Amino acid sequence: MHLSIRFVHVFCLFALSLTVACGQSAKPAQPTDMPLGFEEYDPVSTLKVPEHKPMRARYPFIDVHNHQYQMDKADLNPLLAQMDSLNLQVMVNLSGRGWGSVAENTRFFTDAEANINKTNPKRLVLFSNINFDDIGKTGWTDEAVKILEADVKAGARGLKIYKSLGQSVKDETGQRVRVDAPALDPIWAKCGELGIPVLIHTADPKSFWDPMDRYNERWLELKLHKGRRNASNPVSWEALLAEQHNVFRKHPKTTFINAHMGWYPNNLGKLDSLMQVFPNMNVEIGAVIAELGRQPRTARKFFEKYQDRILFGKDSWVPSEYATYFRVLETDDEYFPYHKKYHAFWRMYGLNLPDEVLKKVYYKNALRIIPGLDKSQFPN
């Protein structure tokens, strides 16, 4: 009895060792370099197709959406050298008044204009901004209009409105200031009278309001940049854009440049309908080139249809990233990556825009819309 039990025990151990040796039940060890998930997965494409990687734009261009925060005191010659390397002929600094109190940002604007005039006023341009700190108080609107007029007289070529309007800007009672607040109507109207455009940024991508789950295309971006999520924002994305569109509707004589294609670059059918409703609305392509590059046929048709109302913009000043814009706009390349995975994990395709459309996007539209730019710097 004891002998048979011992035999069974020994047999079982032998069978187990044989099974493990044959690899039938033991899990193989994971290689240490195996991708751990979406964040780490970054395969090298094996696709072999013609590639064109332009590092300079085919034509000199105007960037209508840039931010330079040291233009009041920095040596601007290195900036001009970087611009030369890209064929960037004119840069519009939308942060013309910097930050801080009215006194502080007036000083910034004055010093920045002086620095530009000393360096190269043909190639560097400022837009003015509105300080909303005291909005709602008696006389605030009149004072804001007066400052805007003085800035334009001193050299400002337009007005930039940040996305804080409609979200974080509050009046003296602590209430949110709507994008279409009546107190701002004289400002929009004055821009029309002065003949300067308003470049307005309202809201953010719709995904920033959507649930942060596996269905959200911007999941990785929201994970890496937690402050961009608007889940707790009491104002919906739809409400913010409706307020912005109401401004366009109320001020048909004022020219608006809707930043980031109005956050409809991923729905060009909707943007098409808005372009028809608001003939005073133009768009710029800052930070949305990845959306255009994944729908090359649809995007090219949109550019051809609205070739007179689309402007070049980049937003953040990272010179190496401009190459992606040139490649999408100028080439017919296939299946190439964006420069930031968290903005676009998909591959892109070139629009191969016709030269005449490309010229309008690069400089002709901006020359028509922004007053005082030197046209002699550009081809006919």
H-state helical runs in 155-288: 185-194, 219-224, 237-250, 268-277
DSSP string over 140-153:
HHHHHHHHHHHHHH
Q: What is the pTM (predicted TM-score) of this model?
A: 0.90
Please write the tens of the pLDDT for every residue from 274-313. Answer: 999 999 999 999 999 999 999 999 999 999 999 999 999 9
Q: CA 313, 317, 323, 325: dihedral to nearest 10 degrees?
A: -20
Percentage, residues of the chain above pLDDT 70: 91
| CA 83/CA 48 separation, integer angstroms | 32
What fold does the segment set 61-374 form as a domain? TIM Barrel (3.20.20)
- Domain edges within the chain: 61-374
Nearest one of 321, 333, 247, 256 to 288, comparing CA atoms: 321
Residue, of 314 and 23, whose pLDDT is higher: 314
From CA 112, how far away is CA 109, in angstroms rounded?
5
Closest CA relative to residue 257, chosen from 92, 71, 145: 92
